[in-house]
A and B are shown apart, each in its own frame.
Chain A
Amino acid sequence: MSPRVFSLATLPIARVPGVAIVLVVLCAVFGLTSSGFATPANITNILTQSTILLLLALPMTVIIMTEGLDLSIGAVLTFASIVLAVTVVTTGSPTLAFLAALAVGLCFGLGNGVLIAVFDIPPFITTLGTLGIAQGLSLLVTDGQSVVGIPRSIEAIYSATAAGIPLPIIIAALAYFVTHVLLYHTRFGTYVFALGGNREALRVAGISVRGMLIRVYVFGGLMAGFAALLMTARLNSAHPTAGIGMEFDAIAAVAVGGTSFERGNGWLLGTLLGVIAVGVLRNGLNLLAVPSSAQVACIGALVIVALFIDGMRAER
């Protein structure tokens, strides 16, 4: 009958090189230019520092796969972190504080989802609005000041190790595993591909497109709330400006990882590599004493280079 269709270009594996080449080149460059780069301590450091970004980039991958976007994720992270810090300082209960942070994430995720799915406001506009709201609330609650006095028990979440592995890395690995299962082995994940690829297919199959879209943004909000725990622990305080620009890093990592902004073409492992690439770049530039403003420019360039490589490969 018809010939078997098999083409390397259609497999996700064909996209590995875009981000992998970038990662290898970055490591090589920094390894050669900076003696402090290729040490076990520094590599552990890079991975640990990448965990917060990964917690945001995972749901961002899912959201972008639905042809959506969440610009508010960094600001929601900030606000959740503030609420967490304020709660723990006033009540003394880390559990309650963590739940409060998750609740903030849930509320913003739900708000984003409902506005986008039910009221049909484009994701870019919706999340730009909620970015402003979350950022404004953070400044309002703190009056622009840091919230300090975080108990040791929270700080320990970032500094503790289990079997020699830093706890944040274990948490991030778990988050990656959960997202992987969610995306590739649940109905929800299957429908994420359909949300970006062909919503009509979902409708015909009798699946609620709105319900699925709302869930996607709720996932983003919850992960931001979860990441707030790590960020508060890392800073041992909460800053109303700490998460500014995190959405940029997250979107950049997803793009570098080869997830397309169209047709539900996403790749979770690529995002992991993209996050590490961003982490390596920031770390290497720090070692070379490049100011952080210039680092942002470099991440921008990284996105373009990675997509350029992918684009060249796709053409052949």
Chain B
Amino acid sequence: MADVPLFELRGISKEFPGVKALDDVSFEIRAGEVHMLVGENGAGKSTLMKILCGAYHADRGSFFHNGEPVTIHDAGAARKFGIAVIFQDFTLVPYLDIAQNIFLGREFPGRLPGLIDRRRIHAEATRVLDMIGFDIDPGVPVHSLGVAQQQMVEIAKALSQDARILVMDEPTAALSDRETELLFAMIARLKAKGVAIIYISHRLSEVFALGDRITVLRDGHKIADLLPAETTPDQLVTLMVGRPVDTTYTRPSRPTPGAVALEVKNLSGPSGFSDVNLTVRAGEIVGLCGLVGSGRTEVARAIYGADRVTSGEIRLFGERIGGSVEDSTRRGMALIPENRKTQGLALARSVGDNIVLAGLRKLFPSGIFIPRRAAKAARAIIQKLRIATPSPRRAVATLSGGNQQKVVIGKWLHAEAQVFIFDEPTRGIDVGAKAEIFRLLDGLVHNGAAILMISSEQIEIVHICDRAYVMRSGRVVGELPHSELTEANIVRLGIHQ
């Protein structure tokens, strides 16, 4: 049995109008293995998974279940073979409890016709949750759970339907380190039970820590099928992007830091941080690190004026600012939020509209919108940041993650911001585009901007920042000058001893 894969896709091709999404891709899944699927955005990972779960039809190719040829014509057929996908957007109902969510659509009938047996649903849910080692009351409504716990519920839901093959699409994207650990522990348990896991990830560390096998896709082709032990991260990245890319982005020389642009003194706030002190000079990129939940985002939001502070002061170019977003932006501060889709962009609006949004007052002092002037301003930014869009009129939602991020940055560039706070600027952006975002940050500081950058990827902080502050439990616990800025030092300070 060992050499017959649990499930196999052979010679899969799929074409969309104008794009060859997949070209003769073969993929096998073995029971009890974690199979890493990697590749840049647009490499064909999602298309392949959608074909596997029956959401798309392959133009060519065949499927084998335990060596037997089978067909997958819809989602029901895929479920029959035990294939389940944990989507990034959860399919959970917030005001139903965990048990009801797990058995949604498969409620047990009650004693009277038409009724459901909530007690049995509850009991069965408890059993499934026990199986994955998730210790929680199944009567808790889902809206009160954190992202990680909701993900566990999704997994429980899949397993309750006898899933043997679990597809996870960037499952750790929204998890803290602690939650990631829990997820990994659960994956280990599932593996031991013989569940096969297909794991899509952009994080190289995960690929090597978890994977039993790695499949690399690029531009719709299968590039390699690797064993982690025989591969180095650099090799993997080269395979993914098709050209040698230095993952360790080398920073060009920086200008000598100028005057203090942003100064935060003894800042405390109700959202969970206290006595925070930091400075950022013009021409400097300063990192703000720490685990997710250490208060980084909260501090950033408070500095920006989006959250209340209880004490302390914030000075911009020496002047005390009033703690409102309006005041901060008028004085040249910009926050590029973690979630660009919900907080950074008006997704349905055009690239041009988004770019001029924050600078409307400067662009149209009379208050009357002049389309030609807006388009001209937008084009200038598109050119400057090399945003890949056919036209400023294209909706932002149609752009890739990296280009969307450039639009957010372009918006503040147009508004002539001088102090930028970046919250996870490379989240969900593929390797190639990351380097471009970094070049952009470099460009900003060369023009005299001051940047405070939050990132969970310590390696990014090390490579791009001039120095960094490390937070833990709502406090700044250390400052690392450039000479001491190493991953090890960040982790050492950030983790509770």
Please, which residues of chain A bring their CB within 8 A of the CB of B100? 190, 193
How far is B140's CA from A64's CA once the two chains are assembled, in angstroms?
23
- B95: CB under 8 A from chain A? yes
How far is B95's CA from A185's CA once the two chains are assembled, in angstroms?
14
- B59: CB under 8 A from chain A? no
- B134: CB under 8 A from chain A? yes
- List A273-292 residues whose CB lies under 8 Å from chain B: none
CB distance from A298 to the nearest CB of B (A): 31
Please state if A186 and B115 are interface contacts (CB–CB under 8 Å): yes
How far is B98's CA from A6's CA once the two chains are assembled, in angstroms?
13
Please state if A202 and B104 are interface contacts (CB–CB under 8 Å): yes
Q: With A187-B116, A206-B76 in contact, is A201–B135 under 8 Å at CB?
A: no
- A13: CB under 8 A from chain B? no
Please state if B94 and A264 are interface contacts (CB–CB under 8 Å): yes
How far is B118's CA from A264's CA once the two chains are assembled, in angstroms?
19
- List A171-199 residues whose CB lies under 8 Å from chain B: 181, 184-187, 190, 193-194, 196-198
- A7: CB under 8 A from chain B? yes
- B367: CB under 8 A from chain A? no
How far is B98's CA from A2's CA once the two chains are assembled, in angstroms?
15
Interface membership of chain A positions 49-84, coded 1 if the CB is closer than 8 angstroms to chain B and 0 otherwise: 000000000000000000000000000000000000
- B292: CB under 8 A from chain A? no
CB distance from A186 to the nearest CB of B (A): 6
- A5: CB under 8 A from chain B? yes
Please, which residues of chain B bring their CB within 8 A of the CB of A6? 137, 140
- A200: CB under 8 A from chain B? yes
- B251: CB under 8 A from chain A? no
- List B134-185 residues whose CB lies under 8 Å from chain A: 134-137, 140-141, 143-146, 148-149, 152, 182
Interface membership of chain B positions 68-102, coded 1 if the CB is closer than 8 angstroms to chain A and 0 otherwise: 00000001100000000000011111111000110
Nearest CB in chain A to that of B97: its residue: A193
- A225: CB under 8 A from chain B? no
How far is B143's CA from A244's CA once the two chains are assembled, in angstroms?
37
Interface membership of chain B positions 258-300, coded 1 if the CB is closer than 8 angstroms to chain A and 0 otherwise: 0000000000000000000000000000000000000000000
Please, which residues of chain A bring their CB within 8 A of the CB of B143? 10, 263, 265
Pick out which of these stretches binds chain A: B41-49, B106-114, B236-244, B314-322: B106-114
Please state if B114 and A264 are interface contacts (CB–CB under 8 Å): no
CB distance from A201 to the nearest CB of B (A): 4
Please state if B96 and A194 are interface contacts (CB–CB under 8 Å): yes
Please, which residues of chain A bring their CB within 8 A of the CB of B136? 2, 4-5
Q: With A4-B136, A4-B137 in contact, is A263–B94 under 8 Å at CB?
A: yes
Contact with B118, one of A7, A185, A198 (Cβ below 8 angstroms): A185
- B133: CB under 8 A from chain A? yes
- List A79-136 residues whose CB lies under 8 Å from chain B: none
Q: With A1-B135, A2-B136, A5-B149 in contact, is A190–B107 under 8 Å at CB?
A: yes
Please, which residues of chain A bring their CB within 8 A of the CB of B76? 206
- List B24-48 residues whose CB lies under 8 Å from chain A: none
Q: With A4-B135, A185-B116, A186-B115 in contact, is A194–B104 under 8 Å at CB?
A: yes
How far is B226's CA from A304's CA once the two chains are assembled, in angstroms?
62
- A235: CB under 8 A from chain B? no
Contact with A5, one of B89, B90, B144 (Cβ below 8 angstroms): B144
Nearest CB in chain B to that of A184: its residue: B118
How far is B103's CA from A201's CA once the two chains are assembled, in angstroms?
11
Please state if A264 and B116 are interface contacts (CB–CB under 8 Å): no
Please state if A198 and B107 are interface contacts (CB–CB under 8 Å): no
Q: With A198-B92, A200-B91 in contact, is A1–B182 under 8 Å at CB?
A: yes
Q: How many residue-residue contacts, CB under 8 A, span A and B?
A: 94
Q: With A202-B104, A205-B104 in contact, is A194–B93 under 8 Å at CB?
A: yes
Residue of A5, A181, A202, A264 with highest tally of chain B CB at under 10 A = A5
- A266: CB under 8 A from chain B? yes
- A38: CB under 8 A from chain B? no
How far is B105's CA from A42's CA once the two chains are assembled, in angstroms?
46
- List A1-42 residues whose CB lies under 8 Å from chain B: 1-2, 4-7, 10
Please, which residues of chain B bring their CB within 8 A of the CB of A205? 91, 104-106
Please state if B93 and A198 are interface contacts (CB–CB under 8 Å): yes
Q: With A1-B135, A5-B149, A10-B141 in contact, is A181–B94 under 8 Å at CB?
A: no
Residue of B90, B91, B149 with highest tally of chain A CB at under 10 A = B91
Please, which residues of chain A bring their CB within 8 A of the CB of B91? 198, 200-201, 204-205
- A207: CB under 8 A from chain B? yes
Please state if A2 and B149 are interface contacts (CB–CB under 8 Å): yes
How far is B105's CA from A139's CA once the two chains are assembled, in angstroms?
44
How far is B120's CA from A68's CA once the two chains are assembled, in angstroms?
31
Please, which residues of chain A bring their CB within 8 A of the CB of B145? 5
Please state if B105 and A207 are interface contacts (CB–CB under 8 Å): yes
CB distance from A37 to the nearest CB of B (A): 36
Nearest CB in chain B to that of A265: its residue: B95
Please, which residues of chain B bring their CB within 8 A of the CB of A185? 110, 115-116, 118
How far is B140's CA from A6's CA once the two chains are assembled, in angstroms?
8
Interface membership of chain B positions 451-485, coded 1 if the CB is closer than 8 angstroms to chain A and 0 otherwise: 00000000000000000000000000000000000
With contacts A194-B96, A263-B95 known, what are 10 further pairs, Cβ within 8 A? A1-B182, A4-B135, A5-B144, A185-B115, A185-B118, A187-B114, A197-B95, A202-B105, A204-B75, A264-B93
Q: Which 5 A-B pairs have the closest CB atoms?
A: A205-B105, A10-B144, A197-B93, A201-B91, A1-B135
Give B contacts to A, CB under 8 Å. Answer: 75-76, 89-96, 100-101, 104-107, 110, 114-116, 118, 133-137, 140-141, 143-146, 148-149, 152, 182
Give A contacts to B, CB under 8 Å. Answer: 1-2, 4-7, 10, 181, 184-187, 190, 193-194, 196-198, 200-202, 204-207, 263-266
Could you jot down 6 A-B contacts, CB within 8 Å?
A2-B134, A187-B107, A190-B116, A200-B91, A201-B92, A263-B143
